[in-house]
Homo-oligomer: A and B are copies of this chain.
Amino acid sequence: MINRVVIFSILVSLISFVVAFYFYRWIIKKDVENPRVKEISGLIAQGSRTFLKKEYTILARFTVIVAVLIFLFLPKPLWSSTIQDNLVIAISYVLGTIFSAVAGVVGMHVATQANARTAEAATYDIERSFMSSFRGGAVMGMSVVGLSTLGVVVLFWFTKDSGALLGFSFGASSLALFAKAGGGIFTKTADIAADLTGKVELGIPEDDPRNPAVIADNVGDNVGDCAGMGADLFDSHVASLSAALVMAVTLGIKEVFVVFVFAILGLLASIIGVSSAKMGKNQNPTNALNLSTYSTSFIFLIISGIATYIFDIHWRLWVATIIGLLVGVIIGIISDYFTNDQYEPVQDVAKMSKTGPAFTILDGMSYGFLSVLPALIGIALASMLSYYVAAPLGEGYALFGIALAAVGMLSIVGMIISNDAYGPIVDNARGLVEMCDLGEEALRITDSLDSAGNTVKAVTKGFSLGAAGLTVISLLAAFMTSVNESAVELGLVEMGQLFITHFDVMNPSVLFGLLVGTAVPAVFSALLMQGVTRNAQRLVDEIHRQFDEIEGLKEGKEGVVPDYNRCIEMATEGALKELVPAGAFAILMTLAVGFFGGVLAIGGFLVGNILSGLLLALFMSNTGGLWDNAKKYIESGHFGGKGSDAHKAAVIGDTVGDPFKDTAGPSINTQITVVSLVASLFASVFLLYSLL
A-side interface residues toward B, CB under 8 Å? 192, 196, 200, 352, 355-359, 361-363, 365-370, 372-373, 376-377, 379-381, 383-384, 387-388, 398-399, 469, 473, 476-477, 480, 502-516, 518-520, 522-523, 525-527, 529-530, 532-533, 537, 540, 603-604, 607-608, 611-612, 614-615, 619, 652, 655-656, 659
Q: Which one of A361, A388, A526, A527 has the greatest number of beta carbons of chain B within 10 Å? A: A526
Q: For residue A523, which residue of chain B has the nearest CB? A: B373
Instruction: Please give the count of copies of this chain that the complex contains.
Output: 2
Q: How far is the CA of A379 from the CA of B518 in the complex (A)?
A: 12
- Closest beta carbon of chain B to A397's beta carbon, Å: 12
Are A506 and B477 neighbours in the complex by a CB distance under 8 Å? yes
Q: For residue A593, which residue of chain B has the nearest CB? A: B380
> Knowing A519-B615, A611-B608 touch, does A656 contact B380 (C-beta < 8 A)?
no
Q: Which chain B residues border A508 with CB–CB below 8 Å?
A: 383-384, 387-388, 398
Are A523 and B196 neighbours in the complex by a CB distance under 8 Å? no
26 A-B pairs with CB atoms under 8 Å apart are A196-B355, A196-B356, A357-B357, A357-B652, A361-B361, A362-B532, A363-B529, A366-B525, A366-B526, A366-B527, A366-B533, A370-B523, A372-B519, A376-B518, A377-B516, A377-B519, A379-B515, A380-B515, A476-B505, A480-B506, A502-B507, A503-B504, A504-B505, A514-B611, A612-B612, A612-B615
Q: Which chain B residues border A358 with CB–CB below 8 Å?
A: 192, 652, 655-656
Q: How far is the CA of A384 from the CA of B512 in the complex (A)?
A: 6
Are A200 and B611 neighbours in the complex by a CB distance under 8 Å? no
Q: Which one of A369, A533, A607, A614 has the greatest number of beta carbons of chain B within 10 Å? A: A369
Are B503 and A652 neighbours in the complex by a CB distance under 8 Å? no
Q: How far is the CA of A510 from the CA of B513 in the complex (A)?
A: 17
Q: How far is the CA of A388 from the CA of B597 in the complex (A)?
A: 13
Q: How far is the CA of A506 from the CA of B473 in the complex (A)?
A: 8
Main secondary structure of the interface of A (DSSP, over half): helix
Q: Which chain B residues border A526 with CB–CB below 8 Å?
A: 365-370
Q: Which chain B residues border A387 with CB–CB below 8 Å?
A: 508
Q: Which chain B residues border A523 with CB–CB below 8 Å?
A: 369-370, 372-373
Q: How far is the CA of A511 from the CA of B355 in the complex (A)?
A: 41
Are B656 and A512 neighbours in the complex by a CB distance under 8 Å? no
Are B611 and A383 neighbours in the complex by a CB distance under 8 Å? no
- Closest beta carbon of chain B to A340's beta carbon, Å: 19
Q: How far is the CA of A24 from the CA of B656 in the complex (A)?
A: 48
Q: Which one of A357, A476, A502 has the greatest number of beta carbons of chain B within 10 Å? A: A357
Are A502 and B506 neighbours in the complex by a CB distance under 8 Å? yes
Q: Which chain B residues border A480 with CB–CB below 8 Å?
A: 506
Q: How far is the CA of A522 from the CA of B352 in the complex (A)?
A: 21
- Closest beta carbon of chain B to A403's beta carbon, Å: 12
- Closest beta carbon of chain B to A351's beta carbon, Å: 10
Are A505 and B603 neighbours in the complex by a CB distance under 8 Å? yes
> Knowing A365-B529, A502-B502, A526-B369 touch, does A376 contact B519 (C-beta < 8 A)?
yes
Are B656 and A515 neighbours in the complex by a CB distance under 8 Å? no
> Knowing A358-B652, A377-B516 touch, does A522 contact B611 (C-beta < 8 A)?
no
- Closest beta carbon of chain B to A515's beta carbon, Å: 4
Q: How far is the CA of A561 from the CA of B364 in the complex (A)?
A: 37
- Closest beta carbon of chain B to A199's beta carbon, Å: 12
Q: For residue A401, which residue of chain B has the nearest CB? A: B508
Q: Other than A362-B533, A376-B519, A384-B511, give 4 A-B pairs with Cβ distance below 8 A.
A: A362-B529, A366-B530, A399-B506, A477-B506
- Across the A-B interface, give the 8 residue pairs with the lowest CB-CB distance, nearest first: A502-B504, A369-B526, A358-B655, A380-B515, A387-B508, A366-B526, A369-B522, A376-B519
Are B196 and A383 neighbours in the complex by a CB distance under 8 Å? no
Q: How far is the CA of A568 from the CA of B477 in the complex (A)?
A: 55
Q: Which one of A477, A511, A513 has the greatest number of beta carbons of chain B within 10 Å? A: A511
Q: For residue A358, which residue of chain B has the nearest CB? A: B655
- Closest beta carbon of chain B to A147's beta carbon, Å: 32
